[in-house]
């Protein structure tokens, strides 16, 4: 592939573009756009930002990803998890959220250019599931206050739970009724979409009816928000303020300007760029990694489903550049959205150009519809968020881990519980526990021992410096310190790499075997390992191709 095409994938598919592709991309882009607008407004609430910031964050991805993305299905924009992480780091301060987007983008683009995508491999599946489950619970419960219409509830999870229940008597009847009705409608439409009914009907009418039902169910968020807004506007017009509404929003497109690199507190104190970075803390590492992980996982899933391949490193670059450019239009950090990507794929999108249509719809909403957003009830947005995050609470994965590998429940549990304290601590704690389990497995490799007059030790995994002390101790206690001392055959056919620490310990072991007039024989050495051991010029070093040959050598010497 030409180097320019590898950096700009649009050059690969644009020359092959067809009119039929345009029709499908327009339909998919329109459908996703009608899903994106209400979700973006709702996710801005999760991030603790004015609702227009959700839309500011929702349109740049469509343009950038069309140029740089390698998946036809992926849509970039605000998501529930990234919104929650953003809030946990910046606490609902718009200027800092925009700066965070720039810094995340720089980190992600740098990782792409330096080919550091492998770092994502150290975030294990149990950590991801623990985090997403905790995030779903935190986000979902955080919207209960908006369903109830209660105010002044703290954002810290445990305090939020206490205050929400404590203030139930203050709930507003209008918000509760509207919120529950919106939830019921959304759940019903979700059920209809997932159970479309029989396809046996072949008449034109039945096919049209199924398509109409599918379209209504797909655009359920937009329909519910529009209906709720009309209800709120009607009551307000007659002087009955029974709903908590979004209120004033900034109209028009955001200015294109560099993000602020300093901040000013309410008392006039200037906060420097360095101090802001210090305040971001570990979030500056967690958010870029989680953004990349979420988007690449989605891209891989849909690439596999639709039979094409993606370039993971190019995906890193696309997300990074979207966050960098997004910061110039007041966006907060974004990533791939599973729900909107699924809608995009199911609608039949053919190329990433569908994202341009979605972005245009968001821009039109910013330009012309912001006054109408004044009347959007917060309860309707809360219902959308709750329905969006509910499927993320996956209890079945706990059952699977219990059946398959119970030790995986440890990083899952640590991540899940710590995430209720601070989101980034959950990720960091889970990765630390996963790393500790990985290191422990390296330091304590399983050994299969058999007795053939001599002791045969088969290493079931590699041999590296954390494991050599354990192996040495085992050989001393089972062979050298017995009476009489025993010879040992070390079956190394699983060992593919060896380091200086291992060689040093083996040198001492060979010396101990020689002093006790017994033998240590190596068998099944791979060529690369054998080459290193021969270069080390170990005194008393013996090796054979198989365990059987080693046992014959020992028998012959006896």
Domain boundaries, the chain: 1-258+274-392, 395-443, 447-556
Question: Phi and psi of 3, rounded to 5°?
Answer: -55, -40
pLDDT at 109: 94
Give the pLDDT band (50/70/90) at residue 402: very high
- CA-to-CA distance for 99 and 87, rounded, in angstroms? 13
pLDDT at 110: 93
Identify which has the larger pLDDT, 382 or 120: 382
- Tell me: pLDDT of 556 over 80: no
Average pLDDT over residues 299-307: 83
Read off the pLDDT of residues 470-504 as tens digits, 9 standing for 90 and up. Answer: 889 988 988 888 888 888 999 888 888 888 888 99
Give the pLDDT band (50/70/90) at residue 329: very high
- CA-to-CA distance for 543 and 524, rounded, in angstroms? 8
Produce one character per residue of 302-316: b if its CB has 16 or more CB atoms within 10 Å, e if not: bbeeeeeebbbbbbb
Contacts of 60 (CB under 8 A, 6+ apart): 322, 325, 326, 329, 331, 334, 359
Where would I find the H helices in 73-156?
A: 80-90, 94-113, 125-142, 144-148
Read off the pLDDT of residues 339-355 as tens digits, 9 standing for 90 and up. Answer: 888 888 888 889 999 99
Read off the pLDDT of residues 114-148 as tens digits, 9 standing for 90 and up. Answer: 888 777 778 888 888 888 888 889 888 888 998 99
pLDDT at 463: 80
Average pLDDT over residues 55-64: 95
Read off the pLDDT of residues 440-471 as tens digits, 9 standing for 90 and up. Answer: 888 888 888 888 788 889 887 778 888 888 88
Give the pLDDT band (50/70/90) at residue 554: low
- CA-to-CA distance for 234 and 225, rounded, in angstroms? 14
- Tell me: pLDDT of 89 over 70: yes
Range of 61-70, 289-298, 374-383, 480-489 with top mean pLDDT: 61-70
Task: Report the DSSP beta bridge partners of residue 543.
Answer: 522
- CA-to-CA distance for 222 and 31, rounded, in angstroms? 10
Read off the pLDDT of residues 150-206 as tens digits, 9 standing for 90 and up. Answer: 888 887 888 888 998 998 998 899 999 999 999 999 999 888 877 766 555 556 667
The residue whose two tokens read 């000013």 is 264
Average pLDDT over residues 372-384: 88
Burial of 264 (0-12, 13-18, 19+ CB in 10 A): exposed
- Tell me: pLDDT of 6 over 80: no
- CA-to-CA distance for 100 and 260, rounded, in angstroms? 10
DSSP percent split of the chain into helix, strand, coil, nearest 5: 65, 5, 30
The dihedral through the CA atoms of 393, 243, 162, 97 has a sign that is positive
Give the pLDDT band (50/70/90) at residue 3: low
Question: Does the domain at residues 447-556 carry the CATH identifier 3.20.20.140?
Answer: no
pLDDT at 205: 61
- CA-to-CA distance for 22 and 513, rounded, in angstroms? 76
pLDDT at 204: 63
pLDDT at 91: 86
Give the pLDDT band (50/70/90) at residue 553: low
Q: Which two tokens stand for residue 33?
A: 């756009």
Contacts of 265 (CB under 8 A, 6+ apart): 271
Q: Which two tokens stand for residue 463?
A: 């041999």
Give the pLDDT band (50/70/90) at residue 94: very high
Cis peptide before 354 (omega within 30 of 0): no
Give the pLDDT band (50/70/90) at residue 557: low
In the predicted model, what is the mean pLDDT of the chain?
Answer: 87
Supply angle C-alpha 371, 333, 329, rounded to 5. Answer: 50
């Amino acid at each position: 592939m030409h180097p320019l095409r590898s950096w700009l994938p649009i050059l690969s598919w644009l020359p092959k573009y067809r009119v039929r592709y345009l029709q499908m991309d327009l339909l998919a882009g329109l459908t996703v756009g009608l899903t994106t607008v209400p979700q973006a407004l709702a996710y801005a609430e999760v991030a603790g930002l004015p609702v227009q910031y959700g839309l500011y964050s929702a349109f740049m991805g469509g343009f950038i990803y069309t140029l740089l993305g390698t998946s036809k299905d992926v849509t970039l924009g605000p998501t529930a998890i990234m919104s929650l992480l953003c809030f946990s780091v910046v606490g609902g301060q718009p200027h800092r959220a925009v700066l965070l987007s720039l810094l995340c983008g720089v980190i992600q683009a740098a990782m792409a250019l330096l080919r550091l995508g492998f770092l994502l491999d150290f975030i294990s599946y149990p950590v991801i599931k623990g985090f997403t489950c905790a995030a779903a619970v935190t986000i979902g419960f955080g919207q209960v206050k908006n369903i109830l219409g209660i105010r002044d509830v703290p954002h810290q999870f445990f305090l939020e739970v206490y205050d929400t229940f404590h203030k139930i008597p203050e709930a507003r009847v209008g918000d509760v009724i509207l919120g529950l009705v919106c939830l019921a409608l959304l759940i019903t439409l979700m059920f209809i979409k997932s159970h479309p009914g029989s396809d046996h009907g072949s008449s034109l009418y039945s096919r049209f009816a199924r398509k109409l039902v599918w379209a209504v169910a797909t655009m359920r968020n937009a329909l519910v928000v529009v209906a709720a807004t009309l209800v709120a506007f009607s009551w307000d017009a007659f002087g009955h303020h029974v709903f908590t509404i979004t209120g004033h929003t900034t109209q028009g497109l955001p200015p294109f300007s560099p993000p602020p690199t300093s901040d000013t507190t309410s008392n006039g104190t200037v906060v420097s760029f360095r101090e802001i970075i210090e305040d971001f803390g570990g979030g500056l590492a967690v958010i870029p990694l989680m953004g990349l992980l979420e988007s690449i996982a989605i891209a891989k899933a849909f690439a596999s489903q639709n039979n094409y391949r993606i370039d993971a490193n190019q995906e890193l670059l696309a997300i990074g550049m979207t966050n960098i450019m997004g910061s110039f239009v007041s966006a907060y950090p974004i990533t791939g959205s599973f729900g909107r990507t699924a809608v995009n794929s199911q609608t039949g999108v053919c190329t990433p150009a569908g994202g341009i249509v979605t972005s245009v719809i968001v821009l039109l909403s910013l330009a012309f519809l912001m006054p109408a957003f004044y009347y959007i009830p917060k309860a309707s947005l809360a219902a959308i968020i709750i329905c969006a995050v509910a499927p993320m609470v996956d209890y079945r994965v706990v059952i699977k881990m219990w059946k398959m590998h119970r030790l995986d429940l440890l990083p899952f549990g640590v991540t899940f519980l710590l995430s209720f304290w601070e989101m980034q601590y959950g990720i960091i704690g889970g990765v630390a526990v996963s790393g500790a389990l990985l290191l422990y497995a390296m330091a304590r490799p399983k050994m299969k021992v058999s007795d053939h007059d001599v002791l045969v030790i088969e290493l079931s995994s590699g041999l590296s410096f954390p494991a050599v002390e354990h192996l040495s101790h085992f050989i001393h206690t089972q062979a050298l310190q017995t009476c009489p001392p025993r010879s040992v055959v070390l079956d190394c056919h699983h060992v593919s790499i060896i380091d200086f620490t291992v060689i040093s310990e083996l040198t001492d072991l060979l010396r101990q075997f020689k002093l006790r007039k017994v033998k240590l024989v190596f068998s099944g050495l791979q060529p690369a390992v054998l080459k290193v051991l021969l270069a080390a010029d170990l005194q008393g070093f013996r090796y054979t191709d198989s365990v059987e040959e080693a046992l014959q050598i020992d028998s012959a010497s006896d």
